[in-house]
A and B are shown apart, each in its own frame.
Chain A
Amino acid sequence: EAQVTQNPRYLITVTGKKLTVTCSQNMNHEYMSWYRQDPGLGLRQIYYSMNVEVTDKGDVPEGYKVSRKEKRNFPLILESPSPNQTSLYFCASSWGLAGDNEQFFGPGTRLTVL
């Protein structure tokens, strides 16, 4: 089954404790992206990747890191989480380098930083 998976689905952590949210897709998509969703703000793009070893900042990259060592995986790293990073996070992937095709979203990761 074609899908995007994320882990963990729920995470409660404390300020400053490094964490990684994994994202994996099995559709051989080139473009992958991370979004955060906050009430009233829609989805905001954090980082995106057009291919292996190619990543770039989205609209709200501060406090986040990503890597793309393999085509299928695109982990999101919070090296020193803060309470303002409490949010719902979605990973997405799409065909093509520019991402201008249907984006398939993962199930979401609800992160709470205390």
Chain B
Amino acid sequence: GENVEQHPSTLSVQEGDSAVIKCTYSDSASNYFPWYKQELGKRPQLIIDIRSNVGEKKDQRIAVTLNKTAKHFSLHITETQPEDSAVYFCAPDNFNKFYFGSGTKLNVKP
């Protein structure tokens, strides 16, 4: 199966700073690259996704960049706010299956 690694596992930033989380994957067959946010005690929710034919996608303060050659994609959050505090998961697809990273706990300090 796919080997997915996320870094860092924890990230603490000051409100207003930027945060970057990186996800590396092993199988070049992956074509769909989503990021999910899970607040404490809640279900995961999609925040942004990208497909293999696109290098970057932006949605307000959130962006995702993809480097298919190097097999990694990154989540960028600018102007962080306390409500961005959560655990973030990447989950690239692999032949109809999904392999989630182990998560990055983001703490945004007011």
List, in ascending order, chain B residues with CB within 8 A of A43's CB: 44, 89, 91, 100
A 56-93 to B, binary, CB cutoff 8 A, 1 in contact else 0:
10110000000000000000000000000000001000
A33-B98, A40-B102 are known contacts. Are A90 and B44 too (CB-CB below 8 A)?
Answer: yes
Q: Pick from B31, B44, B93 the residue with the most CB of A within 10 Å.
A: B44
A106 to B42, CA, bound (A): 10
Q: Give the number of residues in B that approach A within 8 Å (Cβ atoms).
A: 22
Q: Across the two chains, which residue of chain B brings its CB closest to A105?
A: B43
Q: Across the two chains, which residue of chain A brings its CB closest to B47?
A: A102
Q: B43 contacts A99, CB within 8 Å?
A: no
A113 to B34, CA, bound (A): 32
A 92-114 to B, binary, CB cutoff 8 A, 1 in contact else 0:
00000111111101111000000
Interface size class of A (residues with CB under 8 A): 20 to 34
User: Nearest-CB distance from B101 to chain A (Å)?
Assistant: 6
List, in ascending order, chain A residues with CB within 8 A of B99's CB: 45, 59
B 30-65 to A, binary, CB cutoff 8 A, 1 in contact else 0:
011010100000011110010100000000000000
List, in ascending order, chain A residues with CB within 8 A of B46's CB: 102-103
Please tell me if B97 contacts chain A, counting CB pairs below 8 Å: yes
Q: B103 contacts A56, CB within 8 Å?
A: no
B 83-100 to A, binary, CB cutoff 8 A, 1 in contact else 0:
000000101010011111
A101 to B13, CA, bound (A): 30
Q: B43 contacts A59, CB within 8 Å?
A: no
Pull 16 A–B residue pairs with CB atoms less than 8 Å apart, ordered by A.
A40-B102, A42-B102, A43-B91, A44-B100, A45-B100, A48-B96, A48-B97, A50-B96, A56-B96, A59-B1, A59-B99, A97-B96, A99-B96, A101-B32, A102-B49, A106-B43
